[in-house]
Structure 1
């Protein structure tokens, strides 16, 4: 069976260009579409295509470009590997090497092309991860040089915390009353209580 898959990122975008390109190779009834972001793989059309009533070993799937599968290079690599493992031929219109037709006794050429594609995508995904980490490190270092504190803001201890904490601990006042006296949110109050209890358990 020959299928096609087309995707745009939102309902406002048009699928016509992709569908027109796919119809040169796929019957219109076999073209599956999604109007959903490529940031993840959880899409109804794509899930159906990979589900129990969709692709089978020996089937062919046409797409216009790799980014129709996903915007994430790691996801793309994993999907290409999935098609290979399930013996589904992936044809990518803007990647001519994937469109090569070979005799039945030379199917190893297709495997070679898919392996190269997976290797290239793996390298790209790894490079993308390294670049992101480098930018994160550079951002952290730049922020430190400017004296900025990164992460959760420091929790300032109110001057009357110990007094109010003792009242709350003895049951003289409720937690809500303690929070009101201290001018703290519930989350901040319990964070401070946790720190106080940890200090007490250590005998500080």
Structure 2
């Protein structure tokens, strides 16, 4: 193929983008703009960019599913800005990469220069094999980094939840504290004075047994003298 034919092929092959954020509060704009800019600068025929706003822990995402199952065809190219925008589970991400290979779809990751090289154009078979090996190693490395970052984030979340529970600021996972500690302390004074029983107060506040006694413990730690009249 002559050089003009090469550029014509590169320009008119169908290119699709995919970008993902973990939550709806995060903006998709930056990733979308990066993909558009790259395609414009390299004269690539960008057809569409598919987006999802949900976790990258798995690939059960509506727009990604449509893209892979209904849109991509052999000879197409898929562009993502970073590998973790594709997914954050190493095992599942590598399975998706192999799926693209089996489909005859080229994956380009803008943060990985080795994926931006079209190895099919290389004439030297040894050089091609070396670049394919390096490319595979880089993809696996970045997939490992994405999973490690996800695991670190989840660990911090678990630790944060555990600390909130210890402080009595979290009743159950994902549920705000049922009552403020100061409000409980004032209410518990009625128990200490003998006005009502602990069970009556617990029912009045709508607290579980464990939650009620967690608040009670903290109250007595802050106001030990109340034990003199606690019944």
Instruction: Quickly name the TM-score band, shorter chain normalised.
Output: 0.5 to 0.7
> What is the aligned partner in structure 1 of residue 55 from structure 2?
37
The aligned counterpart of 1:97 is 114
Give structure 1 regions of 4+ aligned residues with deviation exceeding 4 angstroms: 26-29, 105-108, 110-114, 117-122
Q: Distance in 2 between matches of 1:106 and 1:81?
A: 23
Task: Provide closer, same or farther for how the CA distance between residues 27 and 120 of structure 1 changes in structure 2, counting only shifts above 3 A.
Answer: same
Residue in structure 1 matching 2:24, options 3, 6, 11: 11
- In the superposition, the TM-score normalised over structure 1's length comes to 0.53
8 Å CA contact 2:90–2:140 kept in 1: the answer is no
CA distance in 2, matches of 1:23, 1:55: 18
* 2:137 matched residue in structure 1: 116
Structure 2 unaligned blocks of 5 or more: 1-13, 153-231
Query: Are 1:8 and 1:37, in contact at CA under 8 Å, matched by a contact in 2?
Result: yes
User: CA 1:92/1:31 → structure 2, altered by over 3 Å: closer, same or farther?
Assistant: same
Give the deviation of 1:3 after TM superposition.
0.2
- Report what 1:80 is aligned to: 97
Deviations 1:31-53 (A, max 9, x none): 000011111110001000111x3
**Larger helix fraction of residues:** 2
* Residue correspondence of structure 1 range 33-182 to structure 2 within 5 A: 33-51=51-69, 53-102=70-119, 104=121, 106=123, 109=128, 111-112=132-133, 114-117=135-138, 120=141, 124=144
Shift of 1:29: 5.2
2:157 maps to none
Size of the aligned set, in residue pairs, is 128
- 8 Å CA contact 2:76–2:106 kept in 1: the answer is yes
Instruction: Report the RMSD for the aligned CA atoms in angstroms.
Output: 3.1
Aligned to 2:9: none
- Taking a change above 3 Å as real, the CA distance of residues 119 and 64 of structure 1, as seen in their structure-2 partners, is closer
Q: Distance in 2 between matches of 1:119 and 1:3?
A: 22
Question: Is the contact made by 1:3 and 1:62 (CA closer than 8 Å) also made in structure 2?
Answer: yes
Q: Distance in 2 between matches of 1:12 and 1:46?
A: 19
Note the C-alpha offset of 1:27: 6.2
1:190-201 matches, cutoff 5 A:
none
Q: Is the 8 A contact 1:76 1:121 kept in 2?
A: no
TM-score, with structure 2 as normaliser: 0.47
The CA distance in 2 between the partners of 1:19 and 1:107, in whole Å, is 35
